[in-house]
Amino acid sequence: MPEVRHWDLLIGGEWRSGSERIDVRNAYNQELVGSIVRAAPADIEDAVGVAQRTLRDPFPSHERYSVLMSAADRIDSAAEEYALLIAREGSKTITEARREPPRAAGILRLAAEEGRRLSGRTLPFDIRPGSENRRGYYVRKPAGVVAAIMPFNDPMAVAAHKVGPALAAGNSVVVKPDSSTPLTVLKMAEDLYACGLPAGRLSVVTGHGSEIGDALVTDPRVRVVAFTGGVSTGERITRKAGIKKLILELGANSPVIVMPDADLEKAASAIIAGAFAQAGQNCLGVQRIFIHSAIYDTFSDRLCDLTSALKAGHSLDPSVDVCQMIRLAEAERVEAWINEALEGGAIVRAGGRRTGAVVEATLLENVPAGCRLQCEEIYGPVAGLYAFETLEEAVARSNDVDYGLHAAIFTESLRDAMYAAENLHVGAVIVNDSTDYRLDSMPFGGTGRSGIGREGLKFAVEAMTETRVVCFNL
């Protein structure tokens, strides 16, 4: 195993120690992976202050591009080191973790390219009588200080999705990683500075969100808050942030609809991967599986066979499909939600057991209306099976939650696919693939309690800028 490293705070490019530390441990066996400083509000004050002062210094587009592209190359060269760190501190199998560094490198490259494409346009002032002698244009300017608050589930990719566009647009960034998975983010920041990022453009403050989160989101010098996480925290941010831009990705309860004419083997494989990857701790994960009654028995049996074949265990075991959840308390919560559904009449078709922080991949049938598994985001390796008679019914039931991130339909009918695309109230409708499909350049976000705004490189870069109009009266 790699050496255990004890990380300090990164304030504007300089490492700062602290009197209190937090251990970072693997949830499967409590192995010590590293430690971080427990930051205080005063550290946030300093980080935001450095970030604001740095905005006065030139950071031209070609320098931003060079830093991001060089960092992407550096990440590629250290991909296995990153993957091992992700699997040790987080909640991904080593196989899943190995996919994240190349994805993060690709995100940084996309951000660099979008930063070079930032531009304005001329404005036709002569459309208004009396303005015939006016000429002008608008440009895009950096919004200022961006606060980026991370979840644990994709620490590297989400960091790239927030830090990359922020820097590409010319901003400075203060990052607050999840206290369960801060080490990957700290290493990324270290690599960005090694690639020539100007001092002060990036800070990483670690610790408990309950202790330092308010200081970060309420600071008036912060102009953009980009947050990925739970609904309750997102609601707290909207109440406290004040007048600033918010980009909030808050989760989902994603439905999949399977029609009788679908390629059922393709659908089954995609649904299983979508429901149980990352131990189900994926905002795009499949949670509700609507199966047409004509194929319900056959298809649900196939899903159960595939689910039962998944191996649960330690994230570093390459043969494991479903690893430990991020914390024992989360596994216990998921178990409690399963038991609530069972008490209401649900039936376990596959899985259903917990061992320590590991919850088996689980499929439930007859999930009662109103229980948390049906209404809320489980954020664990659990999905429900539901029969339906008509597509209209399936779409209506899919929409019958307060979330709207992604939905999917498996069908060979263009008419049915278009009906779903027009009537599912979500940020994306995926046809013939799982809800967890995402292209990093596409607009990403949802409706209702799934959040505010859109990520995706072009959209995030624009969201992290302000337009400035210049008008000449000739």
Q: Rounded mean pLDDT of 440-444?
A: 96
Q: Give the pLDDT score at 1.
A: 64
Residue 153 has pLDDT above 90, yes or no: yes
Domain with 398, as residue range(s), is 254-441
Length of the chain: 474
Residue 8 has pLDDT above 90, yes or no: yes
CATH code, domain with 46: 3.40.605.10
Q: Is 256 helix (H, G, I), strand (E, B) or coil?
A: strand
Q: For residue 359, what are the β-bridge partners?
A: 354
Assess contact for 375 and 253: CB atoms under 8 A: yes
| Separation CA 224–CA 140 (nearest Å) | 15
- Left, alpha or beta for 320 (phi > 0: left; psi -120 to 50: alpha)? beta
Amino acid at the residue 324: Q
pLDDT 10s digits, 355-389: 999 999 999 999 999 999 999 999 999 999 999 99
| Separation CA 44–CA 32 (nearest Å) | 26
Q: Give the pLDDT score at 426.
A: 98
Q: Give the pLDDT score at 158.
A: 97
Q: Is 186 helix (H, G, I), strand (E, B) or coil?
A: helix
* Percentage with pLDDT > 70 across the chain: 100
Indicate whether 343 and 216 sit together in one domain. no
> Which DSSP string do the residues of 43-108 spell out, in sequence order?
HHHHHHHHHHHHTTS---HHHHHHHHHHHHHHHHHTHHHHHHHHHHHSS--HHHHTTHHHHHHHHH
Residue 337 has pLDDT above 80, yes or no: yes
For residues 234-257, one letter each, b for 16 or more C-beta atoms within 10 angstroms of the residue's C-beta and e for the rest, the string is bebbeeebeebbbbbbbbbbbbbb
Indicate whether 392 and 469 sit together in one domain. no
DSSP, res 444: B
**CB count, 10 Å around CB of 134?**
15
Average pLDDT, the chain: 96
Radius of gyration of the chain (CA): 23
Indicate whether 316 and 339 sit together in one domain. yes
Q: How are beta strands 245-249 and 451-452 bridged, if at all?
A: antiparallel
pLDDT 10s digits, 102-116: 999 999 999 999 999
Assess contact for 92 and 276: CB atoms under 8 A: no
pLDDT 10s digits, 401-432: 999 999 999 999 999 999 999 999 999 999 99
Helix (H) or strand (E) holding 250: none
Q: For residue 142, what are the β-bridge partners?
A: 465
For residues 324-341, one letter each, b for 16 or more C-beta atoms within 10 angstroms of the residue's C-beta and e for the rest, the string is bbbebebbebbbebbeeb
Q: Is 263 helix (H, G, I), strand (E, B) or coil?
A: coil
Predicted model pTM: 0.95
Indicate whether 292 and 170 sit together in one domain. no
Indicate whether 160 and 279 sit together in one domain. no
Assess contact for 322 and 285: CB atoms under 8 A: no
Assess contact for 412 and 263: CB atoms under 8 A: yes
Q: Give the pLDDT score at 2.
A: 73
Q: Which residues are catalytic?
A: 249, 283
Indicate whether 158 and 198 sit together in one domain. yes
The total of structural domains in the chain comes to 2
pLDDT 10s digits, 244-262: 999 999 989 999 999 999 9
Indicate whether 205 and 285 sit together in one domain. no
Q: Rounded mean pLDDT of 330-354?
A: 97
Indicate whether 260 and 233 sit together in one domain. no
Residue 319, exposed/middle/buried by CB under 10 A (0-12, 13-18, 19+)? exposed
What does the angle CA 236 – CA 251 – CA 241 come to, to the nearest 5 degrees? 25
322 phi and psi angles, rounded to 5 deg? -125, 115
Indicate whether 68 and 194 sit together in one domain. yes
Q: How are beta strands 312-313 and 322-323 bridged, if at all?
A: parallel
Residue 57 has pLDDT above 90, yes or no: yes
Q: Give the pLDDT score at 3.
A: 81
41 phi and psi angles, rounded to 5 deg? -55, -30
Indicate whether 77 and 182 sit together in one domain. yes
Residue 283 has pLDDT above 90, yes or no: yes
Question: Which pair of tokens denotes residue 13?
Answer: 């490019």
Q: Give the pLDDT score at 127.
A: 96
| Separation CA 340–CA 371 (nearest Å) | 7
Half-sphere exposure in the Cβ direction for 354 (13 Å, CA): 20
Indicate whether 159 and 275 sit together in one domain. no
Q: Is 337 helix (H, G, I), strand (E, B) or coil?
A: helix
Indicate whether 300 and 189 sit together in one domain. no
Amino acid at the residue 56: R
| Separation CA 376–CA 267 (nearest Å) | 24
Instruction: For residue 324, give the nearest of 20, 79, 31 by alpha carbon.
Output: 31
Q: Rounded mean pLDDT of 74-79?
A: 98
| Separation CA 280–CA 92 (nearest Å) | 10
DSSP, res 367: P
